[in-house]
Amino acid sequence: MSTMAWCSGMLLGVMAMTAHVTPVVADPILMTRVRGVDGRAAALLDEALWRSSTFQQLVAQLSASDLIVYVSRTVLDGTLRGALRFVGAGADGGRFLLVELNDALGNGLDAPSDRLAGIATLAHELHHALEVADADTVQDSESFEAFYAEAGRGSRPDVVDTEAAQLAGEQVYFEMTGRKQQ
């Protein structure tokens, strides 16, 4: 068999295997507003986009905002799974946020169960980013803190959360596991 025939056969085989797969993110512009700071964070984003329509919607909504959200896998103190931080605002009015995912819990987001939890946490934090996108008054760290002091509820002295972000994380988790949300 010639190399050309073998390559054509391989291409047809790959096309047949992927014919039922619908591209999740056909438009790379969706990923310009939500960015992994390295390959490992970007891989987690890619997996989340591939596995969850709710996650796709969160990213699409962020792509229509003035925010740029960076995603980092890092070590956070204690049992905190994730955090959202205000980084700054540009001269053009664009705002920058950082989602930090705790890479120290469990197997460091690399075991399948830890990846599911990590992606659900990422969805949770991206929902918080949408809350910030809707709050034009959030222009610096102080106004970010003030916004969540008013909009969120504290479960611990150092943690402020919203019910909507919790629901977004749960929805993504249930989509990825195939379980029904209660």
pLDDT one-digit tens code per residue, 140-170: 999 999 998 888 776 666 677 889 999 999 9
Which residues, other chains included, contact 62 with Cβ-Cβ below 8 Å and sequence gap of 6+?
A: 33, 34, 69, 126, 129, 130, 133
The pLDDT > 90 percentage for the chain reads: 54
Helix axes 112-133, 39-51, angle to 10 degrees: 90
pLDDT category of residue 22 using cuts at 50, 70 and 90: very low
Report, as an integer, the average pLDDT of 130-143: 95
pTM of this prediction? 0.78
Amino acid at 155: S
Question: Can you give the residue ranges of every domain in the chain?
Answer: 24-177
d(CA 88, CA 68): 10
Amino acid at 88: G
Please state which of the ranges 53-57, 90-94, 170-174 shows the lowest mean pLDDT: 90-94
d(CA 59, CA 72): 16
Residue pLDDT, tens place only, 51-87:
999 999 999 999 999 999 999 998 888 778 899 999 9
- Residues in the chain, overall count: 182
Q: Convert 129-165 into a string of H (helix), E (strand) and C (coil).
A: HHHHHCCCCCCCHHHHHHHHHHHCEEEECCEEECHHH
Question: Which structure tokens are listed for 7?
Answer: 């390559």
d(CA 115, CA 29): 25
pLDDT category of residue 180 using cuts at 50, 70 and 90: low
d(CA 165, CA 92): 28
**44: alpha, beta or left? (left if phi > 0; alpha if psi -120 to 50):** alpha
pLDDT category of residue 19 using cuts at 50, 70 and 90: very low
Is the pLDDT higher at 141 or at 31?
A: 141
Q: Among residues 156, 152, 175, 174, which one has the least CA distance to residue 164? A: 152
